[in-house]
Amino acid sequence: MKFKPVPEAPENLDFVRDVQRALPLVPDVTDDCCARVMRRGGVENRDSAGTWLTFLRALELAEETEDGTFVRRRREPERDELAEAFQTRVYRASSVLDVLSDEGPLEADAVFERFREEVPSRGRDGDSGVEAARRERVDNVLDWAVLLGLAEGVEDGYVRA
């Protein structure tokens, strides 16, 4: 399964650890997971908290139970393991990274333009909100790639690490 939501990358993995630890180890149907992530993990709003919950699943740091609650997995967020999960479980992350492999440094806009060709035409035509969301997603993927050691931010943009 591939996961689409990608939050803004934090400055370091300590924030990821804090958000993961905001989740319970044991499911609790009376607990509001988004509120808990906001309160204990330092995430600013419910939409962002929901994005983080899904993203933690993508990174294999959390699981969604049958009743729809979230629990944290008993593993620490290690950079190499997160990088592997990011590449294999986050929708189009590997495609964005492949764009970086093809050429020298690329700015985020140039990566988006190359990645944009893979977007079905129904998603490219006419809706500036859709394009803005996709552009933001590519920016977030690039920032996560840097945080996870898969790419480097250089003066002229990004390169594959």
The domain locations on the chain are 13-72, 89-153
Mean pLDDT of 99-103: 83
Say what the pLDDT of residue 28 is: 82
pLDDT in tens, 36-75: 999 999 999 999 999 999 999 999 999 999 988 999 999 9
More confident residue, 123 or 134: 134
Start-to-end C-alpha separation, the chain: 25
What's the sign of the alpha-carbon dihedral 91, 58, 67, 14? negative
Confidence class for position 101, pLDDT limits 50, 70, 90 = confident
- pLDDT for 66: 92
Reply yes or no on whether the pLDDT at 121 is more than 70: no
Q: 103 falls in which pLDDT band (50, 70, 90)?
A: confident
**Predicted confidence band of residue 18 (pLDDT cuts 50, 70, 90):** very high
pLDDT of 123 over the 70 cut: no
Residues 106 and 157: beta-carbon distance below 8 Å: yes
The whole-number pLDDT of residue 114 equals: 85
Q: Report the share of the chain in percent with pLDDT over 70.
A: 93
Tell me, what's the pLDDT at 127?
A: 63
pLDDT of residue 120: 61
